[in-house]
Chains A and B, each alone.
Chain A
Amino acid sequence: MLATIHRAETSSVHVQRGKSKLDDMFMNRPTSALQLQGLTKRFDRLAVDALDLTVHAGEFYALVGPNGAGKTTTLRMVAGLLKPDAGSVDVFGIDALTDPVAAKQVMAWVSDEPMIYDKLTPFEYLEFVAGLWGIDPGVSQSCAHTLLVSLGLEPHLNERCEGFSKGMRQKVALAGALVHDPRLIILDEPLTGLDAVSARHVKGLLGERVRAGCTIIMTTHILEVAERMADRIGVIASGRLVAEGTLAELRQQNGKDTSLEDLFIALVERKAEAA
């Protein structure tokens, strides 16, 4: 009951915040939340190959692709964790390569391997994250509590994270990403390790954020999630975007009325044949 009330409160708070944010965005700011141009990264081989990608503000964008396609490398470059060899990263009009601190202020990153502190409680972890982003403690504390409750972590608020399952750690990391109310959330396989109930919670939470005006870019192997949640889907293979659009557009491009899985396999196979 309490959890439901809290969820409702968060939702309305975020929707209101989102409205002003949306107004702000569309009135004064660029409508692209993320713009990548010629983004390139080479390790032993070319991981990302002159990638051009635009994610619109307020959009839920899913980046799908086979293993080793360059999805995570791309997102790590956007988050400022990897330095690109070439190209540009623009976040809400901020050049993330020349002014990374300003870009990071509006972003949040969650990886598939949640890195949290074993010796901190979820509450302490969120206090730390909010402090790092310079959020007013009065605002962040109530937001942290609401987030932890909505993610089903209320019974574990004061337990150290050392004994948490991977799913619980993932939820703590996700709460950390949301506690500073970012405008762009970058998620790398956020549903890995979550049970069905938790996955639904997380999907609900992300949906709420998008409705409130937040932009999300997410990689996933679960095509059903991309199909159901994403406004647009980008298919990446060998470091290049091989297809992009809404599900309907992708279907139209391929001339088929099939599932995303069939489309994905067809696109990737075509790319492999071309290579």
Chain B
Amino acid sequence: MSSATTLSWFARHELRLAWREWLAMMTGGRRRRTRVALIGLAVFAALMHLPAWAVIGRYAALEAPLDRTSLIVVTATVFLAWALMLSQAIESVTRVFYARADLDLIMSSPARLANIFSIRIAAIALTVTAMALLLSTPFVDVLVISGGVRWFAAFGVVAAVGLSAAAFAIAITIVLFRLIGPARTRLMAQILAAIIGAGFVIALQIAAILSYGTLSRFAVLTSDAAAAYAPDSNSLLWWPARALLGDGEALLLLLSVALVLLGAVMTIFSPRFADTAVSASAHAATSRRSNQARTFRGGSRQQALRRKEFRLLGRDPWLVSQTLMQLLYLVPPALFLWRSFSDSSTALVLITPMIVMAAGQLAGGLAWLTISGEDAADLVATAPLSPSRVIGAKIEVVLISICVLFTPLVGALAILAPLQAAVTAFAVMIAAGSATAIQLWFRVQAKRSQFRRRQTSSRIATFAEAFSSIGWAATSALVLMAPIAAIVTALMTIGIIATTWKLSPARE
């Protein structure tokens, strides 16, 4: 087989693997669900046109040349998309390094490894770009329908952004391997992905709070100061915005830069990709040492279970990165809280739904990890402990964790606004309890490592968990602003939870 044939064959193999991984994620690994999943996805994409219309429809009339403020807003939006894709790409690259089980086969084959890994890097870039194109389609469609075919250029910008984000992600991950070694790279990459994804928005919010006393992230972008410091309209910085508006020259340049970046990464890092991947897989064969053995602790059987759960949660890289992300999202409201200390601003109320939402989301993840993600299910099932006591201990772990994480925030709020703090505390517990109950009704037996795919086991549970958190967040805000309306949203949220319970397999 010629080299070219080998490469095209391997490219097909990589794309097939990527397609099947994606399909398995959509269908929860059940092949019979493929058609349902594809139809569901098509319906979801169609429905997404409505929010896309609401968010972006009014910008369809934008035409070049743009004023500086518009240029700043459009460029910042493209940069935000790039940051989110970079975050996603770092996740994908780490997954390929740590999870692919075909390294021995590839490395023992007579194929040239640099070529093979170039293809793998390209496949990662393509996967990230394809996902970005898919997600951006409703938004671009809205722009094309309302503003004309020139908006098709947006697809080109998304592709360029996706390819360059993938290139950066590969470079960052390999550099991390070199700098801190495979043992720490996984956790660090997850933390980086979380920070990069959320960082830009949070930074804008923090700047807005400190400069203008508002939580709006657009405050800085649309400010006179930003316009004054921005470069001329023919600066290279605005080429993504120009490309987005249909400037062919700018689009070509953008795509060329992205492809050159990816090519450079493939040339520089392909030969090292093999070493890095091997280091990652070799890391699995070495273990991290914990502290010296302590004495066994006594207590009840439930205490033993709770201790184990806390220990595992504390050592979970996903949880560490997610908690960090949740806390990052809470930095702007906390800062706002501090800024508003001497103020009696009603905007302070906004903090409550953010805290409640974060608590609901985190509780859902924690509940899945403790209830469904039981790695030694047989051991726990054969222990002399009734299932209800096992579940009880696990629920306690979730609620205690939420209490520990959110008490400082609610405590700080209590100094400023005791009533709001009481409402927040109550809503946090209700949101956490609801998310935990949903995870309990839809529990499955799974490995903790399958956490990333937990959404695929039940779409109903995923949506119910999200809507319940949103519902309780909205209710908590309305209790403080319009109590009558809060009754309506509370009833709606209870309705969602009751319907979820009705549909849950645990009820059968």
The judgment on whether A and B are partners is yes
User: A residues near B, CB below 8 A?
Assistant: 79-81, 101-102, 104-105, 107-109, 111, 115-121, 123-124, 127-134, 136-138, 140-141, 144-145, 156-165, 173, 176
Cross-chain contact A160 with B290 (CB below 8 angstroms): yes
CB distance from B450 to the nearest CB of A (A): 13
Cross-chain contact B384 with A134 (CB below 8 angstroms): yes
Question: B350-378 interface mask toward A, CB cutoff 8 Å, 1 = contact, 0 = none?
Answer: 00000000000000000000000001111
Given A128-B304, A131-B307, A137-B297, are A111 and B378 neighbors across the interface (CB < 8 Å)? yes
Cross-chain contact A136 with B298 (CB below 8 angstroms): yes
Task: Please give, as numbers and ranges, the residues of chain A lying within 8 Å of B375 by CB-CB distance.
Answer: 115-118
Task: Please give, as numbers and ranges, the residues of chain B lying within 8 Å of A109 by CB-CB distance.
Answer: 378-379, 382
Could you list some 10 contacts between A and B, CB below 8 A?
A79-B381, A101-B384, A102-B384, A109-B378, A124-B290, A128-B305, A131-B296, A140-B296, A162-B288, A163-B288
Main SS at interface, chain B: loop
Question: B443-461 interface mask toward A, CB cutoff 8 Å, 1 = contact, 0 = none?
Answer: 0000011000000000000
A-B pairs, top 9 by smallest CB distance, nearest first, are A131-B304, A163-B287, A137-B296, A159-B287, A105-B384, A119-B315, A141-B296, A104-B384, A132-B383
Is B345 in the interface zone, CB < 8 Å from A?
no
CB distance from A244 to the nearest CB of B (A): 25
Cross-chain contact B286 with A163 (CB below 8 angstroms): yes
Cross-chain contact A121 with B307 (CB below 8 angstroms): no
A158 to B288, CA, bound (A): 8
User: B residues near A, CB below 8 A?
Assistant: 283-293, 295-301, 303-305, 307-308, 311-312, 315-316, 375-386, 448-449
Cross-chain contact A141 with B285 (CB below 8 angstroms): no
Given A134-B301, A137-B296, are A117 and B308 neighbors across the interface (CB < 8 Å)? yes
Task: Please give, as numbers and ranges, the residues of chain A lying within 8 Å of B305 by CB-CB distance.
Answer: 128, 131-132
Q: Which of B287, B288, B297, B315 touches A127 (beta carbons < 8 Å)?
A: B297
Task: Please give, as numbers and ranges, the residues of chain A lying within 8 Å of B315 by CB-CB distance.
Answer: 119, 160
Task: Please give, as numbers and ranges, the residues of chain B lying within 8 Å of A118 by CB-CB distance.
Answer: 375, 448-449
Q: Which of B287, B292, B382 touches A164 (beta carbons < 8 Å)?
A: B287
CB distance from B32 to the nearest CB of A (A): 16
Task: Please give, as numbers and ranges, the residues of chain A lying within 8 Å of B284 by CB-CB distance.
Answer: 162-163
Cross-chain contact A159 with B379 (CB below 8 angstroms): no
Interface hub of B284, B293, B295 (most chain A Cβ within 10 A) = B293
CB distance from A44 to the nearest CB of B (A): 16
B286 to chain A: closest residue by CB: A163
Cross-chain contact B376 with A104 (CB below 8 angstroms): no
Apart from A108-B382, A133-B383, list 19 A-B contacts with CB within 8 A. A79-B378, A79-B381, A104-B383, A104-B385, A115-B376, A115-B379, A117-B376, A118-B375, A124-B290, A131-B297, A131-B305, A132-B305, A132-B380, A134-B300, A137-B295, A145-B293, A158-B292, A162-B284, A163-B287
Cross-chain contact A101 with B385 (CB below 8 angstroms): yes
B383 to chain A: closest residue by CB: A132
A212 to B376, CA, bound (A): 28
Task: Please give, as numbers and ranges, the residues of chain B lying within 8 Å of A138 by CB-CB distance.
Answer: 296
A140 to B304, CA, bound (A): 13
CB distance from A218 to the nearest CB of B (A): 16
A81 to B286, CA, bound (A): 33
Task: Please give, as numbers and ranges, the residues of chain A lying within 8 Å of B308 by CB-CB distance.
Answer: 117, 120, 124, 128, 131
Q: Which of B290, B379, B383, B384 touches A121 (beta carbons < 8 Å)?
A: B290
Task: Please give, as numbers and ranges, the residues of chain A lying within 8 Å of B301 by CB-CB distance.
Answer: 131-134
A108 to chain B: closest residue by CB: B382
Given A127-B297, A130-B296, are A80 and B385 neighbors across the interface (CB < 8 Å)? no
Task: Please give, as numbers and ranges, the residues of chain A lying within 8 Å of B286 by CB-CB distance.
Answer: 163
Cross-chain contact A80 with B382 (CB below 8 angstroms): yes
Q: Which of A79, A117, A127 touches B312 (beta carbons < 8 Å)?
A: A117
Cross-chain contact A162 with B382 (CB below 8 angstroms): no
Task: Please give, as numbers and ranges, the residues of chain B lying within 8 Å of A157 by CB-CB distance.
Answer: 293
Task: Please give, as numbers and ranges, the residues of chain A lying within 8 Å of B448 by CB-CB distance.
Answer: 118
CB distance from A251 to the nearest CB of B (A): 35
A163 to B379, CA, bound (A): 20
B374 to chain A: closest residue by CB: A115
Task: Please give, as numbers and ranges, the residues of chain A lying within 8 Å of B283 by CB-CB distance.
Answer: 163
Given A124-B311, A131-B299, are A156 and B382 neighbors across the interface (CB < 8 Å)? no
A116 to B315, CA, bound (A): 15
A180 to B377, CA, bound (A): 18
Cross-chain contact B382 with A159 (CB below 8 angstroms): no
Task: Please give, as numbers and ranges, the residues of chain B lying within 8 Å of A108 by CB-CB distance.
Answer: 382
Cross-chain contact B384 with A133 (CB below 8 angstroms): yes
Cross-chain contact A176 with B383 (CB below 8 angstroms): no
Cross-chain contact B288 with A160 (CB below 8 angstroms): yes
Cross-chain contact B289 with A158 (CB below 8 angstroms): yes
A141 to B384, CA, bound (A): 19
CB distance from B394 to the nearest CB of A (A): 13
Cross-chain contact A156 with B287 (CB below 8 angstroms): yes
A124 to B304, CA, bound (A): 11
A165 to B316, CA, bound (A): 21
Task: Please give, as numbers and ranges, the residues of chain B lying within 8 Å of A156 by CB-CB distance.
Answer: 287
Task: Please give, as numbers and ranges, the residues of chain B lying within 8 Å of A132 by CB-CB distance.
Answer: 301, 304-305, 379-380, 383-385
